[in-house]
Structure 1
Amino acid sequence: MLQPWQTGKVVRIVDETGNTKRYWIEVPEMRSFDFEPGQFVTLDLPIHEKPARRQRSYSIASWPDGTNVFELVIVLLEGGAGTTWLFNEIKEGSELTFRGPLGKFTLPETIDRDLFFICTGTGIAPFRSMAHHILNHNIRHQNIYLIFGCRKLGDCLYGRELKELAEKMTSFQYIPTFSREVAENQNHLIRTGYVHSIYEEICRAGAAPDSLKPAYFYLCGWKNMIDEAKQRIQALGYDRKTIHQELYG
């Protein structure tokens, strides 16, 4: 059964990077907007007559905090009708029609093995939500590796915040890796290249000669990254059932 459409009011907008905005949306009809970290909402935008071409889904970037406000982080896609409309038309005070929360890209009931959160771009959103939720509720967990693929330093969404979270939460490692960072900006604390070499390195380092350390893999981002990650993770010896994905684009 589909959830009903609701009206949300945009109460705050912040430019996070040159082509990324953060939107805080209040749901006036609700005292508390409840959701599970990792879920998404679907927006109905006035950009086409056909419903299927009007709808755009975005992972919730905030975490459940008992309020009726949630956050989305949205990147402007070149030629994208939905994001172009949002960036040009939506101001603080604007209303948005949405449905949600939706989706099953959520944490396991018991976090009894290492978690690998692997993402690119705004695919960071559900993992920001999950990491804060685990810390806020003191949920028992193993090691958590957030491996975030960016092009350059300026693309690193929530970078300072996640670095501070890693300092508070010793079992949480925040590992941004940059594919196009120029050599003069490199130092031994900056990882360069692509996300795949990072999780392969960690998995191999932690594995016994004849066994793999148990892990769950959560993938969120563009299709090419997810397809390659699924192949590589299975090539390491992990079962397909340990991999969970949320596709963007």
Structure 2
Amino acid sequence: MSLLPWQTGKVIRIANETSNTRRYWIEVPDVQAFDFEPGQFVTLDLPIHEKPARRQRSYSIASWPDGTNVFELVIVLLEGGAGTTWLFNEIKEGDALTFRGPLGKFTLPQPIDRDLFFICTGTGIAPFRSMAHHILNHNISHQNIYLIFGCRKLTDSLYGTELQELSEKVTSFQYIPTFSREVPENYNHLIRTGYVHSIYEDICRANSTQANGADAALVKPAYFYLCGWKNMIDEAKQRIQALGYDRKAIHQELYG
């Protein structure tokens, strides 16, 4: 299969999401609508090295297909990262970016006939924001959706207000953030602390008990989508299979 051609996009807006994370809106002038499937990514070609392979950086699309020719990326500044350092220091609104895409097969199941667990850390939330909005905007038939998002501090939360409001409007969608370096008693509202793993484990055990009664050893069917750093994904795969799920129920998008 031949690769998609390189295209030129125009950065039409940049906004800080956190102290070290930015949102970039990119317009594709040559098309009326930039079509993609939620969960796909684009690859940027950045002028940071002579060798093409060392210039390329891939980022999941954080927006959802809306019929326009604009898509959004959310990018964290990595310490010592040549690509993100260049993007943060050099790219301004109105500048051009060379990209290829959409790419990837990290997409929604067809049909969505069982619960969906979206498990992510950091900017790994990008494809799941896209998927959740797409499902709900188009009234696609689905079961329960659990978006379990891990980061260090409350100030690191990405799209937190938006996703919380969405979960309050749609009962089948639950947004569950957890913070590994916060202390709950420091805040006047309840927050979850710790890592993502105990959250999906508790939900799966509770769901299986409700579905099967005394025979809770039978797990309730579910799809697990993982996006983030390798350590999180490796641990999640082990824990999910230990719960009784088949490896085929697990889909991953690795960062870094």
Partner of 2:197: 196
Q: State the Cα distance separating 1:186 from its structure 2 match.
A: 4.7
Aligned residue pairs: how many? Answer: 249
8 Å contact from structure 2 (residues 184, 191) kept in 1: no
CA distance in 1, matches of 2:253, 2:186: 32
Residue 215 of structure 1: which of 210, 216, 222 is its match?
222
AA partner of residue 143 (structure 1): N
Partner of 1:28: 29
Partner of 2:153: 152
AA partner of residue 143 (structure 2): Q
Percent identity over the alignment is 87
Partner of 2:70: 69
Residue 233 of structure 2: which of 203, 226, 242 is its match?
226
AA partner of residue 236 (structure 2): A
User: CA distance change for structure 1 residues 227 and 187 in 2, over 3 Å: closer, same or farther?
Assistant: farther
AA partner of residue 222 (structure 2): A
AA partner of residue 167 (structure 1): E
Q: Are 2:116 and 1:109 equivalent residues in the alignment?
A: no
Which digits, 9 at most, give the CA deviation of each residue in 1:49-105, with x for residues without a partner? 001100000000000000000000000000000000000000000000000000000
Partner of 1:84: 85
Partner of 1:176: 177
CA distance in 2, matches of 1:83, 1:184: 35
SS at match of 1:192: coil
AA partner of residue 48 (structure 1): H
Q: Detail structure 1 runs of 4+ shifted over 2 Å in the superposition.
A: 182-189
SS at match of 1:48: coil
Partner of 1:246: 253
CA distance in 1, matches of 2:55, 2:188: 45
Q: State the Cα distance separating 1:182 from its structure 2 match.
A: 2.7
Superposition TM-score, scaled by structure 1 size: 0.98
CA distance in 2, matches of 1:90, 1:146: 31
Q: State the Cα distance separating 1:188 from its structure 2 match.
A: 6.6
SS at match of 2:134: helix
CA distance in 2, matches of 1:82, 1:172: 34
Structure 1: which 5+ runs fail to align? none
Q: State the Cα distance separating 1:185 from its structure 2 match.
A: 2.3
AA partner of residue 114 (structure 1): D
Matches within 5 A, 1:22-61: 22-61=23-62
8 Å contact from structure 2 (residues 183, 193) kept in 1: no
Q: State the Cα distance separating 1:112 from its structure 2 match.
A: 0.3
SS at match of 2:185: helix
Which digits, 9 at most, give the CA deviation of each residue in 1:223-248, with x for residues without a partner? 00000000000000100000000000
8 Å contact from structure 2 (residues 184, 192) kept in 1: no
AA partner of residue 138 (structure 2): H
CA distance in 2, matches of 1:160, 1:18: 16
